[in-house]
Homo-oligomer: A and B are copies of this chain.
Amino acid sequence: MRLTPKVQDILSWYDSDNPGTKGNIARILMTGKLAGTGRMVILPVDQGFEHGPARSFAANPAAYDPRYHFDLAIEAGLNAYAAPLGPMEAAAGTYAGCIPTILKLNSSNSLSTTKDQAVTATVSDALRLGCSAIGFTLYPGSEYQFEMMEELRELSAEAKSVGLAVVTWSYPRGPMLDKVGETALDIAAYAAHIAALTGAHIIKVKPPTEAIFLDAAKKTYQSNPVDVTDAAARIAHIVQACFAGRRLVVFSGGESRSAESLLDDVRAIHAGGGNGSIVGRNAFQRPRAEALKLLADIIEVYKTPV
A interface, CB within 8 angstroms of B:
1-3, 7, 11, 13-27, 29-31, 48-49, 51-55, 57-59, 61-62, 64-66, 74, 84-90, 92-94, 96-99, 107-114, 116-122, 124-125, 127-131, 140-141, 143, 145-147, 149-150, 152-153, 157, 161-163, 172, 174-177, 186-187, 189-190, 192-194, 196-200, 214, 216-217, 220-221, 223-224, 237, 240-241, 243-244, 246-247
In whole Å, how far is A7's beta carbon from the nearest beta carbon of chain B? 8
Assembled-state Cα–Cα distance A220/B298 (Å): 26
Q: Which residues of B contact A97 (CB under 8 A)?
A: 1, 3, 7, 11, 22-27, 29-30
B177 contacts A111, C-beta separation under 8 Å: yes
B117 contacts A61, C-beta separation under 8 Å: no
> Which of B11, B21, B110 interacts with A214 by CB under 8 Å?
B110
> Which of B19, B92, B147 interacts with A93 by CB under 8 Å?
B19
Assembled-state Cα–Cα distance A22/B57 (Å): 28
Assembled-state Cα–Cα distance A200/B120 (Å): 12
